[in-house]
């Protein structure tokens, strides 16, 4: 990568935007210049990149002049409005929102799984949902080995998946409960401290939430597997960082645990943590801040034919968002 690129980050002051900057810095992404964009209220604040203070600019229609790559992480509405503006200005957009994920002419990419799809872009490449990424990282090498038919899963999703203000809400609620004070929910529909909320995103007519359907809909596109089925219950838990998912997967071929373990261990971006004696298994505390996803609790599923149960943890701000976006930009 001898060439250097003029990069813009939209939503630079958010939780994922900040991670994007740290990931680019850590991976020595070839940045010739960096433009940090956010809402008018954040404009004027400065963020550090490679030891330099860079002022945040207000996002506008002229923000993408001379930009090669624009990383978006500011919500679907902003992406729908400004991603086409960026493309028109000559930039390639890597979008972290749900705005373009199901559009046929927009590749939906996890580099380790379907990195070749980036070649088909028409200016915009979509970053998948964070829970979907973490789950598919563990599922895909198993699919390659045994051909997946369907999964049943429950997610245990950290509050940081709902943004920086959600992290503050958990902190404040923990303090309030400890002091014996009443708790006022804000970001979440109910108290999140010392509680779990079986709702992530809004409900659909089927009774599933939008978040829950992303696993099946996005999984089909990423794995190029239109027959893939996924029944998920997504749960918000009082964890600051890193999502966990309990998965029961059913395959076409007979499953062997040692072969499954070998397939996962050989796959880039995955680590096995599976020792029932120690005991050792993935936990969000250990996965937080790590680029890799961690897989454990591997066992034959006693309720499914050709079934395998496993547990996967991954940092949804990194592999589930910022890291995956920067990896897509690296592929470009």
The secondary element (H helix, E strand) that includes residue 153 is strand 148-157
Q: Is 302 a catalytic residue?
A: no
Q: Is 143 a catalytic residue?
A: no
Q: Tell the residue number behind the tokens 């949902």, with chain if given.
A: 129
Q: Are 292 and 318 in contact (CB under 8 A)?
A: no
Cα 323 from Cα 206, distance rounded (Å): 33
* Catalytic option among 234, 243, 293, 313: 243
Q: Are 318 and 130 in contact (CB under 8 A)?
A: no
Q: Look up residue 7 and give its DSSP letter.
A: E
Alpha helices in the chain (DSSP H): 15-26, 76-88, 111-114, 130-146, 164-178, 210-223, 257-265, 284-287, 323-331
Q: Look up residue 194 and give its DSSP letter.
A: T
SS3 161: helix
Cα 212 from Cα 210, distance rounded (Å): 5
CA-to-CA dists, residue 325 to 24, 129, 332, angstroms: 10, 11, 11
Length of the chain: 332
The two three-digit tokens of residue 118, written as one number? 């980036």
Q: Are 247 and 164 in contact (CB under 8 A)?
A: no
Beta bridge mates, 233: 154
* Catalytic option among 121, 130, 143, 234: 130
The two three-digit tokens of residue 21, written as one number? 């900057």
What's CA 291's distance to the chain center, in Å?
Answer: 11
Phi-psi group of 19: left, alpha or beta (phi > 0 → left; psi -120 to 50 → alpha; rest → beta)? alpha
Q: Which residues are catalytic?
A: 130, 243
């Amino acid at each position: 990568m001898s060439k250097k690129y003029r990069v813009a980050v939209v939503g630079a002051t958010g939780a994922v935007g900040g991670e994007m900057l740290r990931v680019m810095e850590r991976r020595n992404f070839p940045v010739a210049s960096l433009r940090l964009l956010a809402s008018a209220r954040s404009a004027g604040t400065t963020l550090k990149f490679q030891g330099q203070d860079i002022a945040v600019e207000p996002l506008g229609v002229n923000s993408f002049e001379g930009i090669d790559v624009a990383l978006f992480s500011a919500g679907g509405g902003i992406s729908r409005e400004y991603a086409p503006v960026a493309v028109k200005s000559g930039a390639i957009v890597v979008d972290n929102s749900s705005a373009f994920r199901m559009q046929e002419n927009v590749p939906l990419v996890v580099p380790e799984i379907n990195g070749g799809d980036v070649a088909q872009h028409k200016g915009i490449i979509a970053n998948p949902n964070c829970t979907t990424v973490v789950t598919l990282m563990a599922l895909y090498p198993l699919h390659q080995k045994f051909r997946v038919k369907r999964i049943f899963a429950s997610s245990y999703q950290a509050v940081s998946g709902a943004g920086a203000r959600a992290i503050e809400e958990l902190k404040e609620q923990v303090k309030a409960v400890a002091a014996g004070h009443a708790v006022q929910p804000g970001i979440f529909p109910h108290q999140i401290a010392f509680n779990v909320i079986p709702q992530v995103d809004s409900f659909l007519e089927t009774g599933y939430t939008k978040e829950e359907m992303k696993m099946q809909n996005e999984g089909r596109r990423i794995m190029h597997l239109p027959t893939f089925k996924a029944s998920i219950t997504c749960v918000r838990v009082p964890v600051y960082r890193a999502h966990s998912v309990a998965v029961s997967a059913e395959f076409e071929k007979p499953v062997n645990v040692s072969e499954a373990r070998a397939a996962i261990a050989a796959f880039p971006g995955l680590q096995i943590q599976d020792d029932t004696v120690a005991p050792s298994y993935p936990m969000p505390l250990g996965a937080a801040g790590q680029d890799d996803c961690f897989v454990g609790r591997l066992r034959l599923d006693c309720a499914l034919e050709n079934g395998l149960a496993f547990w996967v943890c991954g940092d949804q701000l990194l592999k589930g968002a910022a890291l995956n976006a920067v990896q897509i930009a690296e592929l470009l």
